[in-house]
Chains A and B, each alone.
Chain A
Amino acid sequence: MIPSVRQRGASLQGVAIAGIGVTRQARQIDGTSAAVCLEAAMAALDDAGFPLAEVDGVSARWPGPGGTVFHPGSVDWSGVFGHGFTWVGDTYPQGAPGLLDAASAIVAGQCEAALVFGGRAGETVGSNSGDSKVAAYTRPGNEFVACWGSLTAAQFALVAQVYMHRFAPDRGRLAQIPATIRNAGTVNPDAIMFGRGPYTPADVLASPMVAEPFHLLDLCLASEGAAAMLVTTLERARDCRHAPVVVLGGSCEWRRQQYVNPPRYDDVYRVGASAMGRALGMAGLTASGIDVFELYDINSFEVVRQFETLGLCGEGEGVDYLAEAGIGLDGRHPTNTDGGLLSYSHTGFSGPTMKIVEAVRQIRGSAGVGQVPGAEVVMATGAGSGAEYHNAVVLGPDR
C-alpha cells in the first residue's frame, strides 16, 4: 500500500533537467576524481547547450563540497568554473537527493541553474570479480561493523536472509531478475559488462557465493567514472537543446545512519515505502502509472523489495509477481534498462545520478537499444534497506 500523501510545500514541477553527462565508466580509470567530475559536468552543459557562465548553483559532494578549510584538498569548483555561485549544495549522495535539493533551491529562488555531479577515478578499486579486494566505500569503517569483517553486500544479505527464510521464494525465478538486468547491460555499448553474457538464471546461481544468499552475479559492480545533470527552471530548459524532463515529484527517507546499526529485516524492510509514496503522490500517480523503473539495484533482492514496497504486490510475493509481469523491455515493468548498477556501472557516488541519467534518456527517447517505446513517466530511486535510507523521483515530459 502506498501511504496517502499530502502535498507538502511547493511543487517542483516548474523545475526540469536540461542536460545530462556521463563519462566513460570502467573498473579503474586513470586520473583524478576531480577530472572525471569536471568532464561529466561539462558534458551535461554541452548536452543542454547551456553557457557555463550562467550556472549559479553547484552540488558536487565528491571530491569536494566547493572548497572548504574542513576538507583540505577538496576541489574549489568556483575556481575551476571561473565564477562564484549563489547556491552550493553538499548532498550525499547525488541522484535523487541531489536533484531534489537543487530543485528546491531553484523553486526558492536561491539559484536558477545548478550543476549536480559526482564520481571517482584513480582511487584504489578492487575488482569484484576475482580477488578479495573490495572498493573502499563498500567496507564501512563503523565501530560495530568493521570489527566483524562486514561489508555492504553482507549488510544487505542479512536483510535478504530473513526474507528467504520467511517466504522461500523460488531461487531460479529470483535469479531471473539480475539475469534480465545484466542482459540489458550486455547490449549497452557504454556498460562495463557490454558484450559479456547473456546470462541465464543458472549462470547467476552458479556464480561464486559472496555472502549468502548473494552470488557474485546478484551483486552490483564497483567501478569508476562520473555523472552529472544540469537542473534549471522549466522555462529556461525549454530554450535548451533537448526537450525538458520535468521533476513531477520526489522524496527522501533517512531512517538511520548507514551501516552503523545491525540491519534487522523487521526494522528496514519498508524503507523507501513512504518516500516512493510521496514521490508518486506529488506526481499525482500510482505505481502502476510508471512506464519505466530505474531502481537502485545494488543486489537482486532490493529490486524485489522495492516493487513490493511500491505496493505492486504483497510482501513475499515479489519474485513470483515479477516473473509473471516481466522486467525486460517487453515486460509490464521495464526495469534498469541500461544494465543498472549490476552491469552498466556503480561508482558509489554517481551511481544514483546514473539512474536519473537513464530516466532522462528514456523520456527523451534516446536510450538506444534499451529504449522502451513510448516511455513517458519514469521512477528513479537510490539506496536501500541495508543502508537504512532510500529516495525516489518521478520524472516526465514537458506537457
Chain B
Amino acid sequence: MPAEPLARSERPLTGPFWEHVDRRELVRPVCSVCRRSFFVPQVVCGRCQSGDWSYQPSSGRGVVYSHTTVHRPPTPEFSPPYVLAVVDVCEGDWPANGRSGGDTDDYGEDDRDAWSMLTWIVGCEPERVRIGMQVVVRFVPGPNGELLPAFTPAASEDAA
C-alpha cells in the first residue's frame, strides 16, 4: 500500500520553505560558501557543490520575467484564467539588481543576487500583466487551502 504523502512542511528538503510560507514569509536557499541564492532547493549549491546552505529571508520583491495566462487548467481545481509567471526575485537593489535578461542559473557565472521562481500574479487583471513589471510577494490560498507565495504589482506599478 502506498504511503500517505508527507505534509509539505515535513518534506526533508523543502519542509522549512513551506513552514515559512505558512507564516507568510518568503525564504530562499543561500549557499554559505559562495553566497549564491538558488531555487528550487536542492541537496547542494549547483555552483560550488557545497551542502552548507540555509534558508534566508527574501526581500519578497521582484520583476516579472515572463508570464502566461492559462485558459485550460491541468486539473479542475484550478479556475481559469490565471496568470502563471516566472518572477526574478531581487535581493539587492531593486529593481536595478534584477533584470529582464541574463542568466540566473544555479551554476551560472552571474553574481547578481537574484533568483527565480514559478508563481502566480494576483490582484491584477491578466491583460495588465507585462514583462518587467515590478511585483511584491503576497500569500494567497491555493486550491487546497494551503498558502502559496504569489506576487502582485508593486505600489509603484499602480501609480504608473
Q: Which A residues form the contact surface with B (CB < 8 A)?
A: 132, 134, 138-139, 143-145, 147-151, 154, 157-159, 161-162, 165, 208-213, 260-267
Contact = CB atoms under 8 A, between A and B. Distances in A.
Contacts of A210: 70-72
Given A143-B14, A147-B142, A149-B84, A262 B118 contact: yes
Interface centre among B39, B40, B116 (most CB of A within 10 A): B40
Nearest to B87: A262
Contact of B118 (A139, A148, A209, A266): A148
A162 B71 contact: no
Interface centre among B39, B66, B117 (most CB of A within 10 A): B66
15 contacts: A132-B75, A149-B70, A149-B84, A150-B118, A158-B67, A158-B86, A161-B66, A165-B66, A209-B71, A210-B71, A213-B68, A261-B116, A262-B118, A263-B86, A267-B104
A261 B68 contact: no
B118 A264 contact: no
Given A139-B75, A210-B71, A148 B84 contact: yes
Contact of B74 (A143, A149, A264): A149
Contacts of A211: 68-72, 84
B53 interface: no
Nearest to A219: B72
A266 B75 contact: no
Given A145-B118, A209-B71, 4 more contacts: A211-B72, A262-B65, A262-B117, A267-B103
B148 interface: yes
Interface residues of B, number: 38
Interface string B51-93: 0000000000000011111111111111000101110000000
Contacts of A162: 65-66, 131
A262 B86 contact: yes
B145 interface: no
Contacts of B9: none
A165 B131 contact: yes
Nearest to B14: A143
A151 B70 contact: yes
A162 B77 CA distance: 28
B105 interface: yes
B74 A134 contact: yes
Interface centre among B70, B75, B104 (most CB of A within 10 A): B70
Contact of A139 (B14, B39, B74, B120): B74
Contacts of B84: 148-150, 154, 158, 211
A212 B118 CA distance: 16
Contact of A212 (B68, B108, B143): B68
A37 B142 CA distance: 39
Interface string B19-61: 0000000000000000000011000000000000000000000
B135 to A, nearest CB: 14
Contacts of A165: 66, 131
B123 interface: no
B36 to A, nearest CB: 14
Nearest to A142: B40
A149 B118 contact: no
B72 A159 contact: no
Nearest to A263: B86
B143 to A, nearest CB: 7
A148 B119 contact: yes
Interface in B124-150: 131, 142-143, 148
Contacts of B73: 132, 149, 151
A154 B68 contact: yes
